[in-house]
Amino acid sequence: MIIDVHCHYSRSPVQNSSYIHTIGKMWGAEKPISDLQHHLSKYDGDTYYHKLVEDMDRSGVDTSVLFFADNIDNGENDEQVLKLNEHLADIEQRHPKRIISFASIDPRRKKAPELFRTCIEDYRLRGLKWHPTMGFYPNSPEAYRVLEVAEELDAPLLTHTGPLLGMRSKYSHPIHLDDVALDFPKLKIIAAHMGDTWWRDWVATAKYNKNIFGDLSMWQLMVVRDLGRFRRILREIIDDVGVEQVLFASDAPYFESYVSNRRWVEILRALPDDSSDGIKFTEKDVEAILGGNAARILNLD
């Protein structure tokens, strides 16, 4: 089973093409912006993300975790954000076993715990997605009010980690998850991007907190530039933390015009085939990363 734990829902993904194009260049992945826009345009108007499932079929991905990121500064009221969460639940119902939808409630909302409980208990959403770069710490008092509900309902937290262009990166440093992991020992915490360029800080945090996991979304861009470096870093991560805490992810649909998910899966599957650089991976490592670990975290059969 292949499980992609990091896919974005957007009403109009193509609106983000300039930003994604800039991120791609910063990772050393050169691609005409027209290619990116062409790929993302097929998602515009695809309210129920049928195109995502079609892409999954081509890539061999069995199940994807889908989410948006609630930001109170965007101006939506509680009713509007609940409506969007309900829509994510509807997408999952239309694609059973293929899409798992996570809720997103900005913890700065006054009724955030109640809103999140509604998303899980009434809409049957499966987890919580946060983007702290919007201006809150995941270990803040307001965040803890929501995490109490998440731990109670066994809903995993997927939270952005790592610096980002034009955002408040200090809020998304992996060290803040150390408090969360200690104070909520039963909560499963997925650090999106494994901290990105702060990956060593994620390793230091996850090594001693076995309820902290990390996903490989956006790391496929490094593969385009330097596969050898990716192999070295991934091996170091596995040696220090353990393969059990590493999860396959893509950031779909945003980076598929740079590296298709089919190619991303092929690259990971091929890791054990060549150890000429002195770096060795096993088939067991790859299977755990591609889906075994996520199946356990998401309570899938």
Residues 38-46: what's their mean pLDDT?
92
Does residue 301 register a pLDDT over 80?
no
Helix (H, G, I), strand (E, B) or coil at 67: strand
pLDDT over 90 percentage in the chain: 94
What the chain holds in terms of domains, given with CATH numbers, is 3-297 (3.20.20.140)
- The pLDDT value recorded for residue 65 is 98
Over residues 119-160, the pLDDT tens digits come to 999 999 999 999 999 999 999 999 999 999 999 999 999 999
- The pLDDT value recorded for residue 187 is 98
Structure tokens at 113: 């715990």
DSSP 147-176: HHHHHHTT--EEEE-S--TTS-GGGG-TTH
pLDDT over 70 percentage in the chain: 100
Over residues 13-23, the pLDDT tens digits come to 999 999 999 99
Structure tokens at 238: 């596995």
* pLDDT classification of 224: cutoffs 50, 70, 90: confident
Q: CB-hemisphere CA count at 13 Å for 51? A: 19
**CA separation (Å) from 87 to 43, 72, 80, 251?**
16, 18, 11, 20
What does the H/E/C string look like for 272-289? Answer: HHCCCCCCCCCHHHHHHH
Over residues 67-124, the pLDDT tens digits come to 999 999 999 999 999 999 999 999 999 999 999 999 999 999 999 999 999 999 999 9
Q: Is the pTM of this model over 0.95?
A: yes
Number of helical H runs and strand E runs in the chain: 13, 8
Does residue 225 register a pLDDT over 90?
no
